[in-house]
Amino acid sequence: MAVTDLAITLAFVLKFEAPGGDVNLCDGGFLDFDAGDGVERYEAEHPVFGSIVSVGEAEAGFGDMAEGGEVVFASNPAADLADWWRSDLFDSRLRIWMVEVAADMKTATNARLLIDRLVDTAERQQAEGGEDLLALELIGRAEKLFLTNEGNVCSSRFHQTVWPGERGFDNCTDLVGYLAWGTATPSRGGGSGGGSYGGSGGLPGLSRVVLQ
């Protein structure tokens, strides 16, 4: 749709590069979208990971604050637990775009990338009705590089190549914090952005991302 159209329909699409195969989801119905590897179908539900329950604030990094965020899936009740609650989810890439829906109401166009993160931690939760939930904490790809204990990066391994036996760096990496469900998440650094997308069709809880 063009800006001169009377109405522009916006939607959100999510690609989660899970170990068992890509998970392509959208916030209702279905859409055909090209994320860079050809046009693929994005649907509201996935046979294993189910549907999107919420998308937390997309935190941008300022100062010493790491980029982050959270995505919660309601797994498909028919899927085996081992198919979605697995140890190899970590470091899987997850992206979310805001797109315009074309006049045919099935083609996604003019995509704007909002989130490009890696899975940092995973937590199995239960909804009030007893449904299984999978909560993924996300971390920025650049931040993950500095936490990887490989190569010539800011890591404990590289630190010890300069100062052998000095393990102080271990005290400031790979720390995972947990909060009670429903509590406010404290800021992890110098500041963060907030707000929500207006209108209909948005993923619940997605924080506003200002693009200039």
Average pLDDT over residues 130-159: 71
Task: Look at residue 120 in the predicted model and tell me its pLDDT.
Answer: 87
What pLDDT, in 10s, does the model give residues 6-59? 678 999 999 999 998 999 999 989 999 999 999 999 999 999 999 999 998 665
Residue 136: pLDDT over 50: yes
**Quick check: is 51 in a domain?**
yes
Residue 169: pLDDT over 90: no
d(CA 123, CA 137): 8
Could you give the residue ranges of the DSSP H alpha helices within the chain? Answer: 81-84, 141-147, 156-162
**Quick check: is 209 in a domain?**
no
Task: Look at residue 167 in the predicted model and tell me its pLDDT.
Answer: 73
What's the domain count of the chain?
1
d(CA 122, CA 138): 9
**Quick check: is 39 in a domain?**
yes
**Quick check: is 36 in a domain?**
yes
**Quick check: is 172 in a domain?**
no
Task: Look at residue 107 in the predicted model and tell me its pLDDT.
Answer: 96
**Quick check: is 207 in a domain?**
no
The mean of the pLDDT values for the chain is: 76
Q: Could you give the percent of the chain with pLDDT greater than 70? A: 63
Average pLDDT over residues 190-196: 36
**Quick check: is 152 in a domain?**
no
For residue 42, what is the domain's CATH number? Answer: 2.40.10
What pLDDT, in 10s, does the model give residues 60-85? 554 444 567 899 999 999 999 999 99
Higher per-residue confidence, 168 vs 66: 168
Question: What is the span of the domain harbouring residue 30?
Answer: 10-147
d(CA 58, CA 115): 7
d(CA 94, CA 85): 16
**Quick check: is 31 in a domain?**
yes
